[in-house]
Amino acid sequence: MSVTAPAGFEAAGVAAGLKSTGKPDVAVVVNRGPRKVGAAVFTSNRAKANPIIWSQQAVADRIVEAVVLNSGGANCFTGAFGFQTTHQTAEKAAELLGVSAGDVLICSTGLIGTGDEAFRAKVLDGTEQAIAALSVDGGDHAAEAIMTTDTVAKMAVVTHGGWTIGGMAKGAGMLAPGLATMLVVITTDAVLEPLQADEVLRRATGKTFDRLDSDGCMSTNDQVTLLANGASEVVPDLEEFAEALTGLCQELALKLQGDAEGAGHDITIEVQHAVSEQEAVEVGRSVARNNLFKAAIFGNDPNWGRVLAAIGTTSAQFDPYDVDVWMNGVRVCTQGGPDRPREEVDLTARATHLIIDLKVGESTATVLTNDLTHDYVHENSAYAS
């Protein structure tokens, strides 16, 4: 049920013809109240799609009635026509739902730089179809409608203390952080004040989606939205809620990592004993974005020298000649030199766990990435065909 697991939410996903496959491509998620609290975080890419520009304005008052999402077209770099399409989509949804267009967020995903009258007509028609099909059982269909190169729909639900959180996510490529990653809609029937919703969402995304860095490519369309309606009438302990929300976001982030385009390995990079969490993230990300390291993992090669070379490009505090590195439980490097034989490292399984011990502080952070494969290159070279 994903986004319709919490009380007071309805959703739908329909096929409007945006995808040549005939699969669902327009989704709508509606908050039926009683509260209409909304918060969102967006890509920090300066090149922003029209739905991002619209949604950043619409969420400013922290009131959100509905979210309309489409796959099959990013509506990015489509000029004034594209922004008008986004505006008209919000107006269409608002008219049919009896709400203000300024309280409807819009999300799009797909190929950049495409959009015409046929695209607009399909999005508007799909919005109308989806609203007509809204139901408390429509969460699964909505999750399917936002897929592009995804092979599976990503959903998660957490129930705790009388309230529930539900979420759906889309993402298989262009997975790099910038406050948010991919398209994600999260709903809850807990009672949250607007500022609380914004705070817990940013805390959760900062620890989860913001540390998923599969290919170092930041999208123009990334958005994570949290809707809270208070239908459970339960005011949660904010720390307990934040922990549950972070757990749900982490579950979705791991599903996104596991479905990354063409990936053969899911790599968890755990940086230990850094001076600060920020520096631990910087070190982890330097490895996550190192193509030589990622190619080595694809080839099942425990090339720890590439790890040290990557972290040496950062501004983090550490002694390059006093770093330990583990790969799948085997310490291959200690004090900046060789330790156990490389042959002891088994990288044939999909899960790969890399530990980097900087030995300079008490902070830690984990960054998620994938290997660099032939399939990734092929899929992204043929994406528009």
- Asked if 368 and 283 count as a contact pair (C-beta separation under 8 A), the reply is no
C-alpha 289/C-alpha 213 separation (Å) is 7
Look-up: residue for tokens 């369309």? 221
Helix count and strand count (H, E) for the chain:
10, 15
Q: Give the chain's largest Cα–Cα span.
A: 67
Token pair recorded at residue 178: 């910038």
Residue 369 annotated to the active site:
no
Q: Is 327 helix (H, G, I), strand (E, B) or coil?
A: strand
Q: Is the N-terminal amide bond of 302 cis, ω within 30° of 0?
A: no
Q: In this structure, which amino acid lies at residue 166? A: G
Tell me whether residue 374 is exposed, middle or buried, using C-beta atoms within 10 angstroms of its C-beta: 0 to 12, 13 to 18, 19 or more. Answer: exposed
C-alpha 308/C-alpha 209 separation (Å) is 25
* Residues in contact with 250: Cβ distance below 8 Å, sequence separation at least 6, in sequence order: 207, 208
Among 85, 181, 208, 225, the active-site one is 181
- Asked if 226 and 211 count as a contact pair (C-beta separation under 8 A), the reply is no
291-303 burial, b at 16+ Cβ within 10 Å, e below that, comes to: eebbebbbeeebb
Helix intervals (H) in the chain: 50-58, 79-97, 117-132, 139-145, 194-207, 238-258, 277-288, 291-298, 304-311, 374-381
Annotated active-site positions, please? 181
